[in-house]
Amino acid sequence: MASLRRVLPTRLVPRVVMASKEQAVAARKGTGADSVARSCDVFISHRGTDTKMTLAGLLYDRLVHHNVRPFLDNRTMEPGDKLYECIDAGILQCKVGVVIFSPRFCDSSFCLHELAMMVEAKKKLIPIFCDVKPSELLVLGAESHSPENLKRYSKALQEARDTVGLTFDSKTGNWSELVSRTANIVMKCMKQGKGR
C-alpha cells in the first residue's frame, strides 16, 4: 500500500483500501472458481516476475477504485484454490482482458494459456506492450509445448500482434498516465459492452 500512497492523493487511499477489503470479503463468500466467475469484469494477464508489483498491481487498484471487479491472481485467488479452474472461470466471465506483455511473458505457459483462452473466448483484448515490441512476441521452447498448445499459443500471439495496444517503456514512461489511460479504456469498453 505504500507505493499506492505515492501515486494517489492521500484522500483517495482509504477509499481504495476499503474497496479492496470489500471486494475481498465479497469474493470469499463463494468458493473457488464459482466466486471468481461471479465477481470478475476484467481479467489482468501478466508475467508476475515482470509486472505484478508495478503495472498489474497499480491497474488492479485503479479499477477497484472505479468499482470495476478485476481479476489479478495474487489478489483474487485464495490458498487452496485450483489455479486453472479459477483462471479459466475468470477469463470466461470477464468482459475485457488486459494483457500486459513484458520481456518474459512468453516464457510462461500460464500466460500463454490465459492469452489463448481470451482469444478463443473472443474477449475484448487490450494489449499493453511493456518493454517489449509486438514483433518480439514468440512462443519460446516449442519442444516443451504439445503441438495443439503450440498452435493455440502462436495463433493467440498473432492476434495480440494484430490488435492495437498501448506501448510503454518502464525506464522513461509515466506510470500514472499509463494506469489512468488503461483504466479509462477498460471503462469505455465496459460501457460499450453494456449497450449491446
State the catalytic residue, choosing from 22, 85, 114, 159. Answer: 114
Closest to 150 measured CA to CA, from 160, 139, 161, 159? 139
Active site residue 148: no
Distance CA 50, CA 34 (A): 29
Cα separation, 61 vs 196, whole angstroms: 27
Q: Are 55 and 98 in contact (CB under 8 A)?
A: no
C-alpha count within 13 angstroms, C-beta hemisphere, residue 152:
18
Q: Which sequence positions are flagged as catalytic?
A: 114
